[in-house]
Amino acid sequence: MEARKSDCRTLRSVKQHRGSRPPTIRQVADEAGVSTSTVSRAFSRPEMLLPSTVTFILEVADRLGYQPNPTARALSTGRPGTLAIVVPDIANPFFPPLIRGVQARADEAGYSVLLGDSDERPEKEVVLVAKLGARTEGAILASSRMSEATIREHASQRPIVLVNRDIEGLPRVLIDTASGVAEGVSHLAELGHRHIVYVSGPSSSWSNQQRRSAARARARRFGITFTVVAARRPTYEAGAAVAEQLLGSGATAALTFDDLLAQGLLAGLAKQSVAVPDDFSIIGCDDVLAATTHPPLTTVSAQGGDAGIAAVDLLLATIRGEARGGELRVVIPTSLVQRATTSQPRVHPSAVR
Amino acid sequence: MEARKSDCRTLRSVKQHRGSRPPTIRQVADEAGVSTSTVSRAFSRPEMLLPSTVTFILEVADRLGYQPNPTARALSTGRPGTLAIVVPDIANPFFPPLIRGVQARADEAGYSVLLGDSDERPEKEVVLVAKLGARTEGAILASSRMSEATIREHASQRPIVLVNRDIEGLPRVLIDTASGVAEGVSHLAELGHRHIVYVSGPSSSWSNQQRRSAARARARRFGITFTVVAARRPTYEAGAAVAEQLLGSGATAALTFDDLLAQGLLAGLAKQSVAVPDDFSIIGCDDVLAATTHPPLTTVSAQGGDAGIAAVDLLLATIRGEARGGELRVVIPTSLVQRATTSQPRVHPSAVR
DNA sequence: CTGTTAGCGCTTTCAG
DNA sequence: CTGAAAGCGCTAACAG
């Protein structure tokens, strides 16, 4: 096989330079003396062609600097080859590992990832999901702040996988921090604490609800006093701000919605000259700060990256229509990571030793 | 104007349910009794139509749940309406704010954002940029690890804006941490330090080179000893690992490539019972940890979010062909943020006070 | 195994 | 101001 019609395609064969359109399948076909279908197949289904044809075409294509146009391919096949991931706040350290996992896995599967940040605002999330949904094959909603009804509505339009949001019937991956949190409460109870407080995060967060109720249930089981203190956003500042309030509550230990809050609390307590863990114990959640806090934070591990990978797998399965009933709900286990912010509560000074 | 031909388009008018294709411009046109061109115009160039026609069509479209297909539009116009941002590591806290800025600004401009994580690997970055580049109108390469030649090659194919990489002739936004670092050295010199060390980051990082040479130059100006110690990746662990090495060097202060390294160093030093800032002073860079370290880190501010916004503006201008010579290089100033990790060097014990 | 022929859904001249 | 028709670049039956 050799190149035919390699005659003058008037001006079209000029070497590419800034501004010239990239070569199309048509040009490769002409240059190689085959039909466009053949060129198309050489790229999408090479097994249908003679190996020699494939190599020849690929060579010609390469020489011309041809690359299949993803947009055209998307329109023709109806498969954009992209996924969307939307999160409430990229800057919250819980999400980067998650996003990283998503992007890596999607990439392996030949997909690209569109990212959306809703800025913790449900209305903005709605718009984003609609906008991104139209240009993707499916979306992953991490810690969605939208109402269940709204989510269901979106899910009826296109494949959607939820992360840390438990809605019956929808594919979802849940990081089961509840078990880790319960473990944390047990740990505190066994240490001798009789009054603990839970510093809550965003009220519309499923994770927050899970953690709060898991902590409460376990506390009840041990018969220890359980109080809830609300922090606004899950931030360092908010954590530092609730320190005083905790001290006045009579509690000797706190579990916080996440590590950021715990870290802030650590600072707030330090400012009040309260020693951690000697005077007060703290347990965070998510394990996104590793041992970088001072002292190193005891927390509940959460494999954000794994969740991202699982979410992509689930989404891909859903897209392909392989998502069978049972596997709709993937649960990722967690456990308590003991570092240095918990210890026995300080007993009455005179009783020490 | 009223609906004509609202007759049976056989089965096509069935209400949408999971699995049914979304309505096309054709259906809206039929339902409204107009041509597809008119529907198209109602969405893309309403000013060409009678206001009454527009509202009518929009209403019909809304009733049918019609939304223009972005892919088809992209193919037809040649403008995908998407931008790409590729970073070496999303999990590095320097990038989330940057990405956040990019996504927010792009969204305002009606664009969506494709995200790529190169995992600090140049080869992977090359593949990513090529892949994402094909489906976007342009790309933002943040802290690119690719060679200058490779970057130029990509830039010759499509609009590209660099962040923290200074390549002549290419549009770029640079966070001028060099000035902040120099300020940091002056600060240390004025405090009385006579030997400082720079803990370097990725060798292929432009920022690293900038910071290192800025520090060296300023140190020379003050006639103080300047040493460089190499950390592998810019991580907490790497920072903790170099602590001992620094202590043995005779230096009394360190500037680190970034805050993560500084934070690790803080921990490494604490482990060796070296008090900061009393026994050793530290200055970080990027200001991504705010006052969350212990003690609060003195560092060089860097407005990642602003850089992201500026990058999008530059990219959009480049795409539109408005990028004029002079504005090709946007520099974002930085300054030293003094917190609590720097102080006078401890003089010979007997000489104290 | 390869070519022909229709589109995918939308935009865009060019008429009227 | 609106309609008809011709694509954008690629894929997908259907023949051969």
pLDDT (tens digit per residue) in B47-103: 998 999 999 999 999 999 999 999 999 999 999 999 999 999 999 899 999 999 999
* Per-residue pLDDT at B347 exceeds 60: yes
Q: State how beta strands B112-117 and A112-117 pair.
A: antiparallel
Cβ atoms within 10 Å of B134's Cβ, excluding its own: 18
| Average pLDDT score over chain A | 89
Q: Distance between CA atoms of B24 and B42, rounded to whole angstroms?
A: 14
Q: How far is it, in rounded angstroms, from Cα B197 to Cα B199?
A: 6
**pLDDT over 70 (residue A344):** yes
* pLDDT given at position B351: 40
The whole model's pTM is what? 0.88
Task: Give the residue-averaged pLDDT of A325-345.
Answer: 89
Q: Which nucleotide is nearest to A69 (CA to C1')?
A: D9
* Chain B residues near residue A103 by CB distance under 8 angstroms: 90, 115-117
Distance, in Å, from the CA atom of A266 to the CA atom of B291, rounded to the nearest integer, reads 12
CB of A234 within 8 A of CB of A198? no
Q: Is any atom of strand C within 7 angstroms of residue B69's beta carbon? A: yes
Taking 80 as the threshold, does the pLDDT of residue B3 lie above it?
no
pLDDT band, residue A323 (cuts 50/70/90)? low
> Is the bond leading into A88 cis (omega within 30 degrees of zero)?
no
Q: What is the pLDDT of residues A240-268, one digit of tens each?
A: 999 999 999 999 999 999 999 999 999 99
Mean pLDDT of all residues in A36-54: 93
| Cα–Cα distance, B79 to A71 (Å, whole number) | 10
Give the pLDDT of residue A290: 83
Q: Is the CB of A72 under 7 A from strand D?
A: yes
Q: Whole-number mean pLDDT of chain B?
A: 90
Q: Which residues of A316-339 are buried (b: 16+ CB within 10 A; e: fewer)?
A: bbbbeeebeeeebbbebebebbeb
Q: Work out the average pLDDT over B158-174.
A: 95
What pLDDT is stored for residue B55 in this prediction? Answer: 94
Task: Please give the distance of CA B19 from its chain centroid, rounded to a whole number.
Answer: 38
pLDDT of residue A47: 92
Q: What is the pLDDT at residue B7?
A: 34
The amino acid at residue B49 is L
Whether A169 and chain B come into contact, CB under 8 Å, resolves to no
Instruction: Supply φ then ψ for residue A144, to 5 degrees.
Output: -60, 140
Could you give the 3-state DSSP secondary structure of residue A250?
coil
Q: Which residue is nearest to nucleotide C6 (CA to C1')?
A: A76
- For residues B297-324, give the mean pLDDT: 92
In whole angstroms, what is the distance from residue B35 CA to residue B54 CA?
A: 13
- Provide, in whole angstroms, the distance separating residue A23's CA from nucleotide D6's C1': 21
Q: In the prediction, which pLDDT does A350 show?
A: 42
Q: Residue B18 pLDDT > 90, yes or no?
A: no
Using the predicted structure, report yes or no on whether residue B105 has a pLDDT greater than 90: yes
Among A19-23, A96-100, B188-192, B274-278, which stretch is predicted with the lowest mean pLDDT?
Answer: A19-23
Does the nearest atom of strand D lie within 7 Å of B78's Cβ? yes
Residue nearest to nucleotide C13 (CA to C1'): B37
- Bridge-partner residues for B200, per DSSP? B230
Distance CA B313, CA A186 (A): 53
Q: What is the pLDDT of residues A189-201, one digit of tens each?
A: 999 999 999 999 9
Q: Which residues contact B334 (CB under 8 A, 6 or more apart)?
A: B175, B176, B177, B179, B180, B300, B301, B302, B303
Report, in ranges, which bases of strand C sit under 7 Å from a protein C-beta.
1-5, 7-13
pLDDT at B326 (0 to 100):
55
d(Cα B84, Cα B139) in Å, to the nearest integer? 4
What is the pLDDT confidence band of residue A19, given thresholds at 50, 70 and 90? low
- Band of residue B325 on the pLDDT scale cut at 50, 70, 90: low
Q: Is pLDDT at B136 greater than 60 in this prediction?
A: yes
Give the model's pLDDT for residue B222: 96
| Per-residue confidence band for B294, with pLDDT thresholds at 50, 70 and 90 | confident
Phi, psi for residue B160 in degrees, rounded to 5: -140, 140
Gap between the Cα atoms of B78 and A181, Å rounded? 51
Residues linked to residue B116 through DSSP beta bridges, in sequence order: B86
Q: Tell me what pLDDT residue A291 has.
A: 84
Distance of alpha carbon A106 from alpha carbon B105, whole angstroms: 25
For residue A15, pLDDT over 50 is answered with no
Residue B9 has pLDDT above 50, yes or no: no
For residues A14 and A68, which has the higher predicted lDDT (pLDDT)? A68
Distance CA A339, CA A215 (A): 19
**pLDDT of res. B290:** 83
Average pLDDT over residues B330-350: 86
What was the pLDDT predicted at B220? 97
Looking at residue A95, what is its pLDDT?
96
User: What integer is the mean pLDDT of B186-196?
Assistant: 96
pLDDT digits (tens, 9 = 90+) for B237-252: 999 999 999 999 999 9
- What's the order of all strands across the beta sheet hosting B281-283? B225-230, B195-200, B253-256, B281-283
pLDDT at B16 over 90: no
- Chain D positions with any atom < 7 A from a protein CB: 1-5, 7-13
Q: Which residue in chain A is spatially nearest to B235 when comparing CA positions? A: A292
